[in-house]
Amino acid sequence: MEIGPKIIAITGKGGSGKSVTTTLLAKLLSEKYNKKLLLIDADPTHPHLSYMVNLIPEKTIEDVRTEIIEESINRTLEVDKIARNIDYKIYNIVKETKSFGVLSIGQPKIEGCFCPLNNLLRNVIDSISKDYDFILIDCEAGLEQINRKVIRNVDIVLIISDMSVRGIKTASSIKESAQRFTSSRYIGLILNKVKGSFQTLTDHIARLDLQVIGKIPDDEIISQFDLQGKPLIDLPENAQSLASVDSIITKLFSLDY
């Protein structure tokens, strides 16, 4: 891999395991590989990542957006000063531990469109990326953020699918969008919650020309953590799912592009 920040978008249909995969990647990249990480919880409707990694920012990008709007309306600051302040404000809402930082997109306070938030997020990703070894973006389900070019400047797109034809079909649409709308140089499929035999799925994957980078088993320990409401970042190091994610990381490190 090249030196420099690596921006990885984690995508897939709702419930496929985007947030779980992001958390397991974060755990290994920070604890085992000592990488400086920024995690972006970019799912406005299901912001679960912060809870899974047990680091909840006090303020979200939406809060900053609201503040900026108020400042502009009340004219408490000159407009260009407000614009210059945006990056500073965003940097300040990143919740940091020694292992990683978390930035949360938040939920729009007014019903409806996510566009203004997505626009802000796009600029944030562009300007903040230089400070980290890796940026993991836990995306909103589906195609919206890719099609709106929110995640245009990414290096890697990982598409998560559960063990369903629907998941694989969504993965295929996401791949097409990612090829069109992002600068990604690698797009890989991760099969998640794998159990039993799945020849039919394998046939679909081959037909849709998806490249499988790894498989994560349906892991009983993850379900146990879910049941007890424990943060997944504390998963024991010998968990099966972690070993699978580690081999995905090895493959990511060896990508030659």
- Stretch 47-76 residues interacting with ligand ADP (CB under 6 A): 48
Nearer to ligand ADP, 131 or 226 (CB): 226
From residue 147 to residue 186, what is the string marking binding to ligand ADP with x (rule CB under 6 A)? ----------------------------------------
Indicate the residue among 143 and 204 with the shorter CB distance to Mg ion: 143
x/- map, 212-251, ligand ADP, by CB under 6 A = ----x-xx--xx--x--------------x----------
Q: Which stretch binds Mg ion (CB under 5 A): 39-47, 86-94, 173-181, 247-255?
A: 39-47
How distant, in Å, are the alpha carbons of 46, 190, 206, 208, 212 from that of 203?
A: 31, 15, 5, 9, 12
Report the residue number, 89 or 230, with the smaller CB distance to ligand ADP.
230
30 touching ligand ADP, by CB under 6 A: no
Residue pair 212/191 in contact (Cβ under 8 Å)? The answer is yes
Min dist CB 48 to Mg ion, Å, is 5
Contact between 161 and Mg ion (CB under 5 A)?
Answer: no
Q: Which does 87 bind (CB under 5 to 8 A by kind): Mg ion, ligand ADP, none?
A: none
Q: Which stretch binds ligand ADP (CB under 6 A): 18-26, 64-72, 82-90, 171-179?
A: 18-26
Position 19 contacts Mg ion (CB under 5 A):
yes
Output 10 or 135, the one with its CB closest to ligand ADP: 10
What count of other Cβ atoms lies within 10 Å of the Cβ of residue 58?
8
